[in-house]
């Protein structure tokens, strides 16, 4: 393909080109089956092999131990905002939330329907432009929930929250930085991520959940909302998002081929580093997130003048840089540079920004 442009969309986002090409071929016939990937029964051997490989690669890449279930669900990360509290929070219990952006606020809101909630920290006082240095937990929370990367505000936790009360398990919404760096799954009770940034297309949500928690989840929920349903049926209780799982498998192969999560992390640091070092010395642009909290996935920046921001976005669009408009709650620009975003695109953007600055 020659007509692809630089896509900085926050999600759905750019996917590896080789993955798209392979998918393109397999849309007509998965291997030599004569049936396209979207047309295969989820109970048939060819798709079962795809699902098994997707799970095996996911486990291998992230070092997921056997006492965790790997689930491919639907309903997006947003359904997990509800499923987590519905399964584990009751009116007598408290769940702690680290509120570092709009998505964690949404997760918190859903938890309020199931039980008590406590805000262990918040960066709302500065429009979520930083990751709080410490948390004040409630006495005995059932779980502690945080958002590892704040897609809208361009901030990211460097590491997992520490000193979690012993009563609690850690829950992470990792939608916008899953598999962008190595992860110690054993620190978590449950990790979830919508696929559409680092893993594949929208429509499939990866959930990694400790098996004792699968067992401990509420039994009085509708069947589809219980983790045990999906765990016991290997994500095939109902028709799973077959194409999404297939594409995720291809992305996992791509991650493995390119050196796994350590290599992804090095690449991501390098890419974001190029943008941030330009922004640090720019006389026109500045980042919105505080330095020690900056995201390697979503780089948010402004000129400080809305008209100039809009002029920049328009000029960028005309040169084939798409998706740079920031979220309305931050304004300015946002360059989303997930795993699959090529470093050449980052260099091209930096050069374009330099030229724009020189002509401004």
Ligand X SMILES: Cc1ncc(COP(=O)(O)O)c(C=O)c1O
Binding site for ligand X (CB under 6 A): 11, 76-78, 103, 147, 151, 173, 175-176, 194
**Which is nearer to ligand X, 94 or 336 (by Cβ)?**
336
124 catalytic? Reply is no
CA dihedral sign, ordered 119, 121, 127, 130:
negative
- Residues in CB range of 43: below 8 A, 6 or more apart: 236
Q: What CA–CA distance (Å, rounded) separates 65 from 74?
A: 23
Distance of CA 270 to the CA centre of its chain: 19
Cα of first residue to Cα of last residue in the chain, in angstroms, is 33
**Which is nearer to ligand X, 86 or 284 (by Cβ)?**
86
Please report how close the Cβ of residue 236 comes to ligand X at its closest, in angstroms: 21
Structure tokens at 95: 């769940």
Structure tokens at 48: 């079962």
**Which is nearer to ligand X, 33 or 74 (by Cβ)?**
74
Q: What angle in degrees, to the nearest 10, is found between the helix axes of 260-281 and 45-62?
A: 60
List Cβ<8 Å contacts ≥24 apart for 157-162: 157/100, 157/131, 158/131, 158/292, 160/184, 160/187, 160/188, 161/98, 161/120, 161/135
**Which is nearer to ligand X, 23 or 195 (by Cβ)?**
195
Please report how close the Cβ of residue 207 comes to ligand X at its closest, in angstroms: 12
| Beta strand extents in 23-93 (DSSP E only) | 68-73
155, 131 in Cβ contact below 8 A? Answer: yes
**Which is nearer to ligand X, 156 or 303 (by Cβ)?**
156
Which residue is nearest to ligand X, using beta carbons?
A: 76
Please report how close the Cβ of residue 176 comes to ligand X at its closest, in angstroms: 4
**Which is nearer to ligand X, 147 or 303 (by Cβ)?**
147
**Which is nearer to ligand X, 153 or 312 (by Cβ)?**
153
Per the listing, tokens 């460097």 go with 158
Please report how close the Cβ of residue 156 comes to ligand X at its closest, in angstroms: 10
Active-site residue, from 6, 96, 173, 177: 173
Structure tokens at 101: 């952006």
Active-site residue, from 197, 254, 309, 325: 197
- DSSP secondary structure code for residue 332 in this structure: S
Q: What CA–CA distance (Å, rounded) separates 244 from 75?
A: 13
Strand (E) or helix (H) holding 121: strand 116-122
Q: What are 149's strand-pairing partners?
A: 156
Nearest to 159 by CA among 141, 175, 177, 143: 177
Please report how close the Cβ of residue 233 comes to ligand X at its closest, in angstroms: 22
Structure tokens at 340: 């699959």
173 catalytic? Reply is yes
Please report how close the Cβ of residue 78 comes to ligand X at its closest, in angstroms: 3
Active-site residue, from 6, 93, 96, 103: 103
254 catalytic? Reply is no
Please report how close the Cβ of residue 149 comes to ligand X at its closest, in angstroms: 6
Catalytic residues: 103, 173, 197
């Amino acid at each position: 393909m020659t007509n692809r442009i630089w896509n900085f969309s926050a999600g759905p986002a750019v996917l590896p080109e080789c993955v798209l090409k392979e998918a393109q071929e397999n849309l007509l016939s998965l291997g030599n089956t004569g049936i396209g990937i979207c047309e295969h029964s989820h109970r048939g051997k060819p798709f079962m092999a795809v699902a098994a490989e997707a799970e095996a690669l996911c486990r291998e890449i992230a070092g997921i131990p056997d006492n965790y279930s790997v689930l491919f669900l639907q309903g997006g990360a947003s359904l997990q905002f509800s499923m987590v509290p519905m399964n584990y929070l009751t009116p007598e219990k408290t769940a702690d939330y680290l509120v570092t952006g709009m998505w964690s606020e949404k997760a918190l809101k859903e938890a309020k329907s199931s039980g008590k909630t406590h805000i262990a920290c918040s960066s709302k006082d500065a429009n979520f432009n930083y990751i709080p240095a410490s948390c004040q937990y409630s006495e005995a929370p059932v779980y502690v929930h945080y958002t590892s990367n704040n897609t809208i505000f361009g901030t990211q936790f460097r590491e997992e929250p520490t000193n979690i009360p012993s009563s609690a398990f850690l829950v992470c919404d990792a939608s916008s930085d899953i598999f962008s760096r190595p992860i110690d799954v054993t620190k978590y009770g449950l990790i979830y991520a919508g696929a559409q940034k680092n893993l594949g297309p929208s429509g499939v949500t990866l959930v990694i959940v400790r098996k004792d928690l699968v067992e401990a989840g509420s039994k009085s929920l509708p069947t589809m909302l219980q983790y045990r349903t999906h765990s016991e049926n290997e994500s095939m209780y109902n028709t799973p998002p077959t194409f999404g799982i297939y594409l995720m498998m291809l992305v996992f192969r791509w991650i493995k081929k390119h050196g796994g999560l350590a290599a992804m992390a090095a690449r991501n640091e390098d890419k974001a580093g190029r943008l941030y070092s330009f922004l640090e010395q720019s006389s026109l642009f500045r980042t919105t997130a505080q330095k020690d909290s900056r995201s390697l996935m979503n780089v948010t920046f402004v000129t400080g003048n809305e008209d100039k921001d809009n002029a920049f976005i328009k000029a960028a669009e005309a040169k084939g840089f798409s998706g740079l408009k920031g979220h309305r709650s931050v304004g300015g620009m946002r360059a989303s540079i997930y795993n699959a975003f090529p470093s050449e695109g980052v260099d091209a953007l930096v050069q374009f920004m330099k030229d724009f600055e020189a002509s401004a």
